Amino acid sequence: MNRRKFLELVTAAAVVAADQVRLPALAAGTPTKKASAASTRGTASESNPLLEAWPGPYGGLPPFSSVKPRMFPAAFRASMAECRAEIERIANQRARPTFANTLAPLEAAGRTFARVMSVFDIFTSTANTPAIQSIDRTWKPRLAAFDDEIVQNARLFRRIEAVYEARERNGLTSEQQRLAWVYHNRFVRSGARLDAAQKRELSKINQKLATLYTRFRQNQLADEENQMLVLTAADELAGLPQWLIDAAAASAKEKKRPDTWVIVNTRSAMEPFLTYASRRDLREKAFRLWVHRGDTPGPHDNNPLVTEILALRAKRAKLLGHATYAHWSVDSGMAKTPQQAMDLMMKVWPAAVARAREEVVDMQAVADAEGGGVKIEPWDYRYYAEKVRKAKYDLDESEIKPYLQLEKMREAMFWASTKLFGLHYKELHGIATIHPDVRVFEVSGPSGDVVGTWYFDPYARAGKSSGAWMNEYRTQEAFEKPVLPIVSNNANFVKGAPGAPVLISWDDAETLFHEFGHALHGLSSKVHYPTLSGTNVPRDFVEFPSQLNEHWLSTPEVLSRFALHCETGKPMSAALVERIRRAHTFNQGFATVEYLASAIVDMQLHLAGETPVEPRRFEQESLVALGMPKEIVMRHRIPHFGHIFSDDGYAAGYYSYLWAEVLDHDAFRAFTEAGGPYDQKVAKRYHDDVLQVGNTVDPAVAYRRFRGKAPSIEPLLEYRGFAKKTEKS
């Protein structure tokens, strides 16, 4: 597993920290008894399906078949008015503030608005047509202003603060006390204590940021959709395996480029091309297309937007009483301070760079032996790394890939979760979806009771964000009544020839398991209040369940059952499994350096404070100071770093993947120290102490309950083969 953990896993920050969730809780359930949806929408809007409770089984499912883009503006207006009225009723009460008359109705408020936003977010990430983009540009600043209107309501905040301050003496349950803390912390962090002038200034900043985020995201999508490598002659296919040629032909057909082969500008297409293409000139051309997304002068240049975003974030952080945006962001996570996060990254960085330099030496030796005077450049790294892997371990990706069929890997994820947690899956038909490629499954627990539904959207298409991510259409709750979660996993695999199985790389298979780990987190939730449900946990903890789930891909039990050759149907041989196991530390220098460079630069960008940032210069100077090997570029260069510039989700927080990896390796050791990867006692502890508790328990406490101790960094360093080098550095 040569790049596990450091993959591009969540594109649109669909899984976010609890304090980043829209305010108030706004759970996507049914309308409350106190405020029916019809009370504020008027007769002209009654036929709008966005404003109705979701129809169908499982407590309702999104009505994709009846939703049209033109319906969103009216739905926004009506649902915002309904939510505003609910908030005013809570804030204007004369009765003394209590949990029952303040936080409980807040949990019930905004149901219609939440459903509208859930569907809109699905459109913007997976069906982002020009019509949706236009609505997005118009409405995102208005929606940001609406968020501020709620959090800046002084009467509402006084009630929340009163409940929070009395939480330990008013007989509240531990979950209710946690909810009081979450609300109070969220409102304070969002400016509830500012004076009127400061609140107006903060709202202007937030509205402007919402506009800039939308432009950044749409610029990135435009470059990914409109820029592509078009191959017109057979000799340009040199070195490419047949599955990649078939995928390129399918992309050409979709792009209406007859008699060509198209390598689209997404990671799942570009990385294989850079790994196998023999034509060095074409590798360079493809590489430059990929790394310069958002970095070409013209209408889609994201660099000026980055400068403005950083300046506004610094201004906002100062308004909120923090030295920099990094201090504001990290304060709500497990790391608590930017220094803590940087300390962890810098423990790993020197060993990663040293390993990467060793990898370059090995690759250069291969290139020298071939002649031609090649000096390893970034567009050569994957190509020659694959040659080194074959020479050192008798292993190459083309040998593994025929065993990794997308459909079989989906079955493998299901099987592992059944073995660990007793979950079972049944495919549903006739369910409305955003696109015909999306499949829907009923998920039931050990007792046979349905626990939720899972949507699977695996293929790339126009209007869909790149990368892979999990989304919660609706979170679990048991507040007014039991509400089942609805979760989705989304990817961007390229379809091959009609009827042929879609083959994926080992890294892609890990990504599938990773995102399914997020899905399991949402599906396993068993809490009372929606704000505390599922993945609504601090950002540097939310990646822990997802990264832990990757470990089960490589278990013999999974590989022997589901890694079946696409032509022969035979399972992957024990010898090949062993070669994969022995090669798991291969190319870890590259994988760690490209990820950590992005994470460190992210933190440095947000520690810059009010100092103006010119992205190209900042990136170059930062990497030189770090000693970045010239043969590697950041996994996410600044102009297309959607994790941190398409919204606030991972800004000054990309370190979270590494932070969570410390937890996941330490946690997996709990399984291996017991009865193995499928040990039932450890699985139950993990399920009960982590997956089902959401944010009802402080993450550090939850982890210690599961593990019996604080996490250690050593399992991570040992897995990556860095332990000895780090100790000497």
Distance in angstroms (rounded) separating the CA atoms of residues 722 and 729: 10
- Looking at per-residue pLDDT, the higher value among 329 and 1 belongs to 329
Would you state the structure tokens that stand for residue 56, as one six-digit string?
């169908």
- At 398 the pLDDT is 84
- Looking at per-residue pLDDT, the higher value among 495 and 661 belongs to 661
With CA atoms as reference, report the closest residue to 219 among 271, 270, 291, 295. Answer: 295
Query: Does residue 351 form part of some domain?
Result: no
- At 434 the pLDDT is 97
- At 611 the pLDDT is 94
Distance in angstroms (rounded) separating the CA atoms of residues 344 and 244: 38
Q: For residue 635, is pLDDT > 70? A: yes
Would you state the structure tokens that stand for residue 728, as one six-digit string?
């000497």
With CA atoms as reference, report the closest residue to 199 among 135, 138, 156, 137. Answer: 156
Contacts of residue 683, defined as CB under 8 A and 6 or more positions apart, other chains included, come to: 420, 421, 671
Q: Is 728 exposed, middle or buried (0-12, 13-18, 19+ CB in 10 A)?
A: exposed
- At 614 the pLDDT is 97
Q: For residue 318, is pLDDT > 90? A: yes
| 571: helix, strand or coil | strand
**Sequence-ordered alpha helix ranges (H) in 18-153:** 38-41, 72-91, 104-108, 111-126, 130-151
- At 26 the pLDDT is 43
With CA atoms as reference, report the closest residue to 110 among 90, 137, 133. Answer: 90
Catalytic site includes residue 515: yes
- 569-595 average pLDDT score: 92
438-456: buried (b, 16+ CB within 10 Å) or exposed (e) per residue?
A: bbbbbbebeeeeebbbbbb
- Strand 486-493 and strand 450-459: the pairing is parallel
Q: Which of 28-42, 590-604, 662-676 has the lowest mean pLDDT?
A: 28-42
Residue 584, phi then psi, degrees to nearest 5: -65, -25
- At 724 the pLDDT is 56
216-239: buried (b, 16+ CB within 10 Å) or exposed (e) per residue?
A: bbbbbbebbbebbbebeeeebbee
Q: Which helix (H) or strand (E) holds 662?
A: helix 656-673
- 287-312 average pLDDT score: 96
Distance in angstroms (rounded) separating the CA atoms of residues 631 and 641: 20
Q: Which of 11-15, 101-105, 644-648 has the lowest mean pLDDT?
A: 11-15
Give all strands of the β-sheet with 439-444 in edge-to-edge order.
424-428, 439-444, 450-459, 486-493, 469-474
- At 268 the pLDDT is 86
Q: How many domains does the chain have?
A: 1
Q: For residue 25, is pLDDT > 90? A: no
- At 729 the pLDDT is 33
Query: Does residue 259 form part of some domain?
Result: yes
Q: Cβ(60)–Cβ(112) under 8 Å?
A: no
Binning pLDDT at 50, 70 and 90, where does residue 39 land? very low
Tell me the per-residue pLDDT of 123-158, one tens digit each, with 9 for 90 and over.
999 999 999 999 999 999 999 999 999 999 999 999
Q: For residue 28, is pLDDT > 50? A: no
Which one of 224, 359, 397, 515 is the catalytic residue?
515
Distance in angstroms (rounded) separating the CA atoms of residues 242 and 56: 43
- At 173 the pLDDT is 97
Label each residue of 382-441 as H, E or C.
HHHHHHHHHHHHCCCHHHHHHHCEHHHHHHHHHHHHHHHHCCEEEEECCCCCCCCCCEEE
Query: Does residue 340 form part of some domain?
Result: no
- 237-265 average pLDDT score: 94
Residue type, 329: S
Residue 91, phi then psi, degrees to nearest 5: -70, -30
Q: Cβ(247)–Cβ(269) under 8 Å?
A: yes
Q: What percent of the chain has pLDDT over 90?
A: 87
Tell me the per-residue pLDDT of 410-468, one tens digit each, with 9 for 90 and over.
999 999 999 999 999 999 999 999 999 999 999 999 999 999 999 999 999 999 998 89
Q: Cβ(533)–Cβ(475) under 8 Å?
A: yes
In angstroms, how far is the first alpha carbon of the chain from the final one? 25
Q: What percent of the chain has pLDDT over 70?
A: 93
With CA atoms as reference, report the closest residue to 532 among 12, 27, 15. Answer: 27
Name the residue range of residue 276's domain. 227-291
Average pLDDT, the chain: 92
- 207-227 average pLDDT score: 95
Tell me the per-residue pLDDT of 584-625, one tens digit each, with 9 for 90 and over.
889 999 999 999 999 999 999 999 999 999 999 999 999 999
Q: Which of 174-178, 263-267, 367-371, 579-583 has the lowest mean pLDDT?
A: 579-583
Q: What is the dihedral of CA 635, 640, 646, 651, to 10 degrees?
A: 40
Q: For residue 15, is pLDDT > 80? A: no
Given phi > 0 = left and psi -120 to 50 = alpha, else beta, which region is 118? Answer: alpha
Query: Does residue 325 form part of some domain?
Result: no
Tell me the per-residue pLDDT of 167-193, one tens digit each, with 9 for 90 and over.
999 899 999 999 999 999 999 999 999
Q: For residue 494, is pLDDT > 80? A: yes
- 89-105 average pLDDT score: 97
Query: Does residue 62 form part of some domain?
Result: no
- 59-68 average pLDDT score: 97
477-508: buried (b, 16+ CB within 10 Å) or exposed (e) per residue?
A: bebbeebbbbbbbbbbbbbbeeeebbbbbbbb
With CA atoms as reference, report the closest residue to 180 among 205, 203, 160, 194. Answer: 160
| 615: helix, strand or coil | helix
Query: Does residue 233 form part of some domain?
Result: yes
Query: Does residue 78 form part of some domain?
Result: no
303-340: buried (b, 16+ CB within 10 Å) or exposed (e) per residue?
A: bebbebbbbbbbbbbebbebebbbbbbbbbbbbeebee
Tell me the per-residue pLDDT of 534-568, one tens digit each, with 9 for 90 and over.
999 999 999 999 999 999 999 999 999 999 999 99
Query: Does residue 253 form part of some domain?
Result: yes
